[in-house]
């Protein structure tokens, strides 16, 4: 191979690295400049939020906990850090690690279904939401690197963390602040649609596999320990699901039992509304099988607020 | 390991470097060893099947080559053995159901519940191609079992083809492979284009298509039309992307594989479509199934008209329908695959039967076959016919396919977008793919793209690379045609 070839290879590699760095830096700047959307919310939770009550979880967290109702009822500031997109416990695990290094909220409500500790490969794909933070938070590396083999090597690229995100990054850089205010401190209410029999016939109760994901169990355990270490009152809540007459929830699976064992062993408060009589068979309170509609979320938030008051009272009495 | 895994990007250069260092007469051994490792990392338990078939067919091939008068008998035995092995793995589900119905109760054992080893179909088609060419006397039997094994197991093509004809490729395993900068760069460029098609186009469109086709009864005809359109590009990008990665990988190592796709969506007829789509398979069907069938029927039928139609047209009809029925059945055991195949047989026969009428109509209306408008009309019509067939290919079963088609025709409404970002990426991928192929089709530009200006050429490939990094789906899973 002659000198020209070597020079061409060198220039090509240099071009790859340079373009990658330029695109990566520009996109990074745009990413952290977003004014609305899920990425903005995640960044806000990581860097600015100092609310007294924080709610974590997936779309069930985001759509079920009315922050204004909770604030009014408990006289405390509240932010809903729930994220749409079917995330597993991995995202709250990352969020809580970052938050508690910055400040300690008084109460953390973790929306968590014990059944979700089953293994599901898509949950690792969804760690992509944390990729932009890989270079920011070293202690998140073990979690983010679980996404795939060679993830660490892929993250040598400055552009890769923003994979599949560029349209939203641009879009939410152009939306005005007004759009952000509408999300009500992270809470995004579902509309008022209700369930119907056609939908229920087409979408029966789903059962996933039966193997536990040890990484998820570890995440749960670490969350509980972190809250204890920082003297944060942690309430784990499993919000309502819909079951109509004739349907019963699936029997307790082994992974679910293992998650419950951790919660009980760590003496953590667990509020299980998943089959609560006040909600389970009320088609008018649900938008789909697992998401409450606006009316349902209001009722549920009131229940949670009452529970939180009761727990706080009990704790105060014990301390006295 | 899959082509679209990072492990493959480590595996390929390692194998290539060692290949160039190994002396020429032992290179087949390294190819065989690395191909075995490649497959072992995917489905180790099925290597036994491949390594049982290799010596068996090697021996049968020698017997066919030297059999003289008994050539046909040996060939028949070889054909039956290979087809039985293929049928056993491919249609174990049907056998399972059959056993259950005979025994009147479902069994719990898993004897018949066998997973089709990935690549077995292509492996056996390659063997059949070898045996048929031997019988026809167009090639001599391969006497070196190592080279024979390397030819069958060659990892760039084992999983999903191309189905290489023995005359073209076996000798390549004898040649001395060495480093060639230009050839390696060309191979890398072809691979890059293949990765673009797979990661940016196919896997991106798959997200939307799976969401819609997975809940077809919840969506209206407009959405199903969009999903079908997307699926046509998804399956093309997935399969041709794989082929490009295979061809590029082989080229890097010094092997030339058959180009399996030639811009099929620019075809102006179904016949042309099948000359441009999965070329190695369609030519395999033509040479080993369609033509022998046509020859057989022409021997059986008198040279006269039946129901006022010439014999040749009937021969074409029967041969097409049988060939494409078998093609459909090969793709899957569901009735929808059979209908998919028969539909193409029907399309081809209709075109064959009405060729004269079409010509007369063009004369009457003074439409030139070379006119741009006529060409555009034919391209669009062919694409639409292919999309209709793909509904049967993609649907879960025959009932679903008919429901979807009925909705496409009768039901309209707002198009489901899902996540805007995914939708936009999908559309962008299709536009880039069509643009690149249109340039190739209607100009002298060929892939891989070359320019007099080196920097301009590099920017084209850098753009592809960054499109892959920015909007590629990295965990999209395996290729569609693996399951066949």
Distances (CA, A) of A105 to A109, A211, B172, B186: 11, 34, 69, 58
Judge contact between A147 and A125, C-beta under 8 A. Answer: yes
d(CA B78, CA B271): 31
Which residue out of B403, B470, B476 would a mutagenesis test of the A interface target, given it has the greatest number of A Cβ atoms within 10 Å?
B470
User: Does the pLDDT value for residue B179 go beyond 90?
Assistant: yes
User: Does the pLDDT value for residue B69 go beyond 60?
Assistant: yes
* Chain segment B263-297, per-residue pLDDT in tens: 999 999 999 999 999 999 999 999 999 999 999 98
Angle at A59 between CA A54 and CA A60, to 5 degrees: 75
* Chain segment B436-483, per-residue pLDDT in tens: 999 989 887 777 777 788 888 889 999 999 999 988 988 665 566 666
Distances (CA, A) of A101 to A97, A166, A219, B280: 7, 29, 17, 60
Three-class SS state of A1: coil
Query: Any idea where the domains of chain A sit in the sequence?
Result: 53-157+179-319
**Concatenated DSSP letters of A72-87:** HHHTS-EEE---TTT-
In this prediction, residue B309 carries a pLDDT of 81
Residues 279-318 on B with a CB inside 8 Å of A are none
Nearest to B469 among A163, A168, A202 (CB): A163
Q: Do A149 and B7 touch (CB under 8 A)?
A: yes
> Residue B163: is it exposed, middle or buried by C-beta count within 10 angstroms (0-12/13-18/19+)?
buried
**Concatenated DSSP letters of A204-239:** PPP-----B-HHHHHHHHHHHHHHHHTT-EEEEEE-
- If you classify domain A53-157+179-319 with CATH, what class do you get? alpha beta
* Chain segment B117-160, per-residue pLDDT in tens: 778 888 999 999 999 999 988 999 999 999 999 999 999 998 88
B182 near A CB under 8 A = no
Cβ contacts of A172 within 8 Å, gap of 6 or more: A34, A35, A36, A37, A39, A40
d(CA B6, CA B9): 5
Nearest to A15 among B458, B470, B475 (CB): B458
Distances (CA, A) of A236 to A32, A107, A111, B298: 30, 11, 6, 77
Three-class SS state of A299: helix
Q: Do B474 and A12 touch (CB under 8 A)?
A: no
% of residues, chain B, pLDDT over 70: 92
User: Does the pLDDT value for residue A204 go beyond 70?
Assistant: no
In this prediction, residue B110 carries a pLDDT of 46
In this prediction, residue B177 carries a pLDDT of 93
Residues of B in contact with A159 (CB under 8 A): 466, 469-470
In this prediction, residue B100 carries a pLDDT of 60
User: Could you tell me the two tokens for A241?
Assistant: 């699901």
B454 min Cα distance to partner chain A (Å): 9
Q: Which of A91, A111, A94 is nearest to A234 (CA)?
A: A111
Model-level pTM? 0.89
In this prediction, residue B112 carries a pLDDT of 44
Q: Tell me the average pLDDT across B179-204.
A: 94
Q: pLDDT higher for B467 or A316? A: B467
Residue of chain B nearest A125, judged by CA positions: B475
Residues of B in contact with A1 (CB under 8 A): 181
Residues of B in contact with A16 (CB under 8 A): 462, 465
* Chain segment A32-76, per-residue pLDDT in tens: 999 888 899 999 999 999 999 999 999 999 999 999 999 999 999
Sheet holding A78-80, edge to edge: A78-80, A53-56, A107-111, A233-238, A269-272
Q: Confidence class of residue B59 from pLDDT cuts 50, 70 and 90?
A: very high
Residues of B in contact with A171 (CB under 8 A): 420
d(CA A115, CA B103): 38
% of residues, chain A, pLDDT over 90: 62
Q: Confidence class of residue B105 from pLDDT cuts 50, 70 and 90?
A: low
Lowest mean pLDDT among B26-35, B104-113, B171-180, B326-335: B104-113
Instruction: Give the distance, in angstroms, between the CA of residue B418 and the centroid of all CA atoms in the same chain.
Output: 30
In this prediction, residue B444 carries a pLDDT of 73
B217 near A CB under 8 A = yes
In this prediction, residue A248 carries a pLDDT of 60
Looking only at the bridges linking them, the beta strands covering A53-56 and A107-111 are: parallel
E strands present in A31-154: 53-56, 78-80, 107-111
Facing residues of A238 across strands?
Answer: A272
* Chain segment B349-369, per-residue pLDDT in tens: 999 898 888 888 888 888 887
Residue of chain A nearest B428, judged by CA positions: A167
Nearest to B421 among A1, A149, A164 (CB): A164
d(CA A12, CA A18): 10
Nearest to A160 among B7, B424, B469 (CB): B469
User: Could you tell me the two tokens for A320?
Assistant: 């006295």
**Concatenated DSSP letters of B42-100:** T-GGGHHHHHHHHHHHHHHHHHHHH-GGGHHHHHHHHHHHHHHHHHHHHTHHHHHHHHH
User: Does the pLDDT value for residue A205 go beyond 80?
Assistant: no
d(CA A56, CA A239): 12
Return the axis-axis angle of helices B420-442 and A166-174, rounded to nearest 10°.
120
Q: Do B421 and A163 touch (CB under 8 A)?
A: no
Which residue out of B469, B472, B478 would a mutagenesis test of the A interface target, given it has the greatest number of A Cβ atoms within 10 Å?
B469
> Residue A103: is it exposed, middle or buried by C-beta count within 10 angstroms (0-12/13-18/19+)?
exposed
d(CA B168, CA A34): 57
Q: Tell me the average pLDDT across B169-182.
A: 91
Q: Confidence class of residue B108 from pLDDT cuts 50, 70 and 90?
A: very low
B409 min Cα distance to partner chain A (Å): 23
Distances (CA, A) of A156 to A31, A134, B360, B379, B433: 18, 10, 64, 44, 28
**Concatenated DSSP letters of B301-344:** S-SS-BTTB-HHHHHHHHHHHHHHHHHHHHH-SSHHHHHHHHHH
| Interface residues of chain A, partner chain B, Cβ below 8 Å | 1, 5, 8, 11-12, 15-16, 19-20, 23, 125, 148-150, 153-154, 157, 159-160, 162-168, 171, 202
Radius of gyration of chain A (CA): 22
d(CA A255, CA B60): 53
**Concatenated DSSP letters of B175-196:** SPP---HHHHHHHHHHHHHHHI
* Chain segment A211-233, per-residue pLDDT in tens: 899 999 999 999 999 999 999 99
Q: Confidence class of residue B111 from pLDDT cuts 50, 70 and 90?
A: very low
CA dihedral B430, B243, B282, B388 (to 10 degrees): -20
Please tell me chain A's helix, strand, coil percentages from 3-state DSSP, rounded to the nearest 5: 55, 10, 35
Q: What is the mean pLDDT of chain A?
A: 88
Lowest mean pLDDT among A180-189, B29-38, B309-318: A180-189
Which residue out of A167, A169, A201 would a mutagenesis test of the B interface target, given it has the greatest number of B Cβ atoms within 10 Å?
A167
B114 min Cα distance to partner chain A (Å): 21
Q: What is the mean pLDDT of chain B?
A: 88
Ramachandran sector of residue B395 (left: φ over 0; alpha: ψ -120 to 50; beta: rest): beta
Looking only at the bridges linking them, the beta strands covering A233-238 and A107-111 are: parallel
Residues 422-461 on B with a CB inside 8 Å of A are 422, 424-425, 454, 458
Q: Confidence class of residue B425 from pLDDT cuts 50, 70 and 90?
A: very high
d(CA B54, CA B67): 19
* Chain segment B388-401, per-residue pLDDT in tens: 999 999 998 899 99
b/e B280-303 (16+ beta carbons within 10 angstroms → b) = bbbbbbbebbbeebbeebeeeeee
């Amino acid at each position: 191979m002659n000198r020209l070839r070597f020079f061409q290879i060198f220039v090509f590699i240099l071009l790859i690295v340079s373009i990658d760095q330029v695109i990566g830096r520009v996109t990074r700047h745009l990413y952290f400049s977003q004014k609305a959307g899920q990425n903005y919310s995640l960044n806000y939770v990581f860097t600015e939020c100092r609310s007294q009550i924080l709610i974590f979880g997936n779309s069930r967290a985001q759509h079920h906990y009315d922050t204004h109702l909770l604030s009014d009822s408990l006289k405390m500031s509240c932010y809903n850090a729930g994220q749409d997109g079917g995330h597993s416990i991995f995202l709250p695990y990352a969020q809580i690690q970052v938050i508690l290094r910055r400040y300690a909220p008084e109460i953390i409500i973790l929306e968590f279904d014990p059944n979700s500790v089953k293994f599901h490969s898509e949950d690792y794909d969804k760690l992509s939401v944390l990729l932009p933070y890989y270079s920011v938070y070293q202690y998140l590396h073990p979690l983010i690197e679980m996404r795939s083999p060679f993830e660490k090597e892929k993250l040598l690229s400055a552009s890769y963390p923003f994979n599949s995100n560029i349209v939203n990054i641009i879009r939410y850089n152009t939306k005005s602040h007004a759009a952000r205010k509408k999300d009500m401190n992270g809470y995004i209410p579902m509309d008022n649609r209700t369930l119907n029999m056609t939908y229920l016939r087409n979408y029966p109760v789903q059962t996933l596999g039966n193997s536990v994901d040890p990484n998820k169990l570890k995440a749960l355990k670490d969350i509980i320990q972190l809250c204890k270490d920082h003297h944060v009152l942690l309430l784990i809540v499993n919000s309502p699901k819909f079951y109509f007459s004739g349907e019963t929830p699936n029997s307790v699976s082994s992974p679910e039992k293992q998650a419950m064992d951790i919660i009980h062993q760590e003496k953590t408060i667990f509020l299980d509304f998943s089959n609560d009589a006040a909600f389970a068979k009320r088609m008018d309170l649900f938008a789909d099988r697992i998401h409450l509609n606006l009316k349902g979320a209001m009722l549920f938030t009131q229940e949670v607020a009452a529970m939180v008051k009761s727990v706080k009272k009990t704790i105060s009495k014990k301390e006295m | 390991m899959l082509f679209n895994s990072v492990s493959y990007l480590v595996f390929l250069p390692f194998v290539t470097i060692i290949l160039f260092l190994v002396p020429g007469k032992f290179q087949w051994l390294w190819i065989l060893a690395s191909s075995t490792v490649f497959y072992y990392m995917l489905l180790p338990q099925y290597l036994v099947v491949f390594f049982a078939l290799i010596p068996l067919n090697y021996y049968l091939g020698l017997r066919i080559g030297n059999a003289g008068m008994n050539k046909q008998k040996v060939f028949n035995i070889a054909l039956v053995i290979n087809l039985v092995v293929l049928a056993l793995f491919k249609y174990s589900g049907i056998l399972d159901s059959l056993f259950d119905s005979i025994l009147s109760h479902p069994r719990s054992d898993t004897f018949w519940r066998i997973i089709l080893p990935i690549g077995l179909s292509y492996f056996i088609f390659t063997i059949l191609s070898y045996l048929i060419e031997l019988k026809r006397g167009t090639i001599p039997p391969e006497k070196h079992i190592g080279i024979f094994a390397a030819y069958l197991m060659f990892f760039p093509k084992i999983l999903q083809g191309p189905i290489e004809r023995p005359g073209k490729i076996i000798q390549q395993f004898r040649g001395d492979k060495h480093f060639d900068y230009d050839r390696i760069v060309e191979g890398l460029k072809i691979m890059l284009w293949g990765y673009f098609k797979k990661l940016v186009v196919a896997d991106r469109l798959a997200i939307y298509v799976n969401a819609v086709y997975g809940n077809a009864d919840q969506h209206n005809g407009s959405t199903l039309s969009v999903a079908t359109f997307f699926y046509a590009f998804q399956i093309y990008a997935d399969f041709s992307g794989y082929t490009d990665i295979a061809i590029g990988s082989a080229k890097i190592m010094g092997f030339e594989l058959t180009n399996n796709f030639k811009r099929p969506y620019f075809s102006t007829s179904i016949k042309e479509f099948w000359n441009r789509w999965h070329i190695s398979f369609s030519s395999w069907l033509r040479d080993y199934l369609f033509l022998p069938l046509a020859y057989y029927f022409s021997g059986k039928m008198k040279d006269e008209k039946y129901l006022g139609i010439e014999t040749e047209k009937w021969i074409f009809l029967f041969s097409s329908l049988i060939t494409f029925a078998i093609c459909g059945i090969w793709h899957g055991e569901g009735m929808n695959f059979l209908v998919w195949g028969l539909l193409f047989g029907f399309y081809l026969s209709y075109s064959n039967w009405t060729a004269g009428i079409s010509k007369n109509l063009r004369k009457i209306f003074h439409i030139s076959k070379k006119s741009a408008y006529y060409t555009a009309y034919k391209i669009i019509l062919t694409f639409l016919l292919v999309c209709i067939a793909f509904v049967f290919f993609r649907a879960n079963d025959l009932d679903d396919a008919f429901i979807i088609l009925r909705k496409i025709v009768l039901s309209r409404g707002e198009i489901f977008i899902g996540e805007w970002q995914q939708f936009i990426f999908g559309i962008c991928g299709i536009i880039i793919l069509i643009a690149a192929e249109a340039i190739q089709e209607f100009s002298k530009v060929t892939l891989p793209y070359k320019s007099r200006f080196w920097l301009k050429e590099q920017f084209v490939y850098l753009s592809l690379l960054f499109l892959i990094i920015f909007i590629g789906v990295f965990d999209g899973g395996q290729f569609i045609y693996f399951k066949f």
